[in-house]
């Protein structure tokens, strides 16, 4: 049941080149046990059509789980590095996610959060990233 409008702004920098994208979608938003959950289906625009994403937002941590065509489980925890499973249609790998900054202003009607992080493979920096997500519940 879609009850929210979701906007994702993504910025990725690799080898000095920055790429930005924006995605608008509908999905489900709810609050449970002190966490906020955002669920949406991926589209052809993201390259993961046929997959489902769930974001769990709590103080100091965001967990992104993608299921379906490709499975990923990414953990963003303020000031920490996590080894995470990242799946693509070509295969799976383990990546390092180091969160450098995060903030959220979520409440029962929606809100927003931002996560800044780096991705490394075999301890070598691959990309610097920033994701901002805004959720507005349907009135």
Rg (alpha carbons) of the chain, rounded to whole number: 15
What whole-number distance in Å separates Cα of residue 29 and Cα of residue 66?
Answer: 16
CB 20 within 8 A of CB 130: no
DSSP string computed for 62-121 = EEEEEESSS-EEEEEETT-EEEEEEEETTEEEEEEEEEEEEEE--BTTEEEEEEEEEEEE
For the cut 70, the answer to whether the pLDDT of residue 2 exceeds it is yes
Question: pTM for the full model?
Answer: 0.91
pLDDT (0 to 100) of residue 102: 96
Q: What is the mean pLDDT of residues 30-53?
A: 87
Is 4-137 assigned to CATH 2.40.128.20? Answer: yes
* pLDDT of res. 1: 63
The predicted model gives 9-14 an average pLDDT of: 96
Q: What is the pLDDT of residues 62-88, one digit of tens each?
A: 999 999 877 899 999 999 999 999 887
Q: Check whether 44 has a pLDDT greater than 80.
A: no
């Amino acid at each position: 049941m879609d009850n929210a409008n979701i906007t994702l702004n993504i910025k990725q920098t690799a080898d000095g080149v920055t790429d930005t994208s924006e995605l608008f979608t509908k999905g489900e938003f709810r609050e449970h046990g002190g966490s906020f959950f955002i669920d949406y289906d991926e589209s052809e625009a993201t390259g993961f059509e046929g997959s489902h994403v769930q974001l769990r937002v709590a103080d100091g941590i965001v967990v992104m789980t993608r299921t379906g065509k490709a499975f990923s489980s990414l953990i963003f925890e303020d000031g920490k590095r996590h080894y995470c499973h990242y799946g693509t249609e070509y295969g799976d790998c383990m990546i390092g996610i180091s969160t450098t900054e995060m903030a959220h202003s979520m409440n029962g009607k929606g809100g927003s959060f931002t996560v800044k992080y780096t991705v490394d493979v075999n301890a070598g920096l691959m990309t610097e990233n920033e994701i901002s997500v805004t959720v507005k519940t349907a009135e």
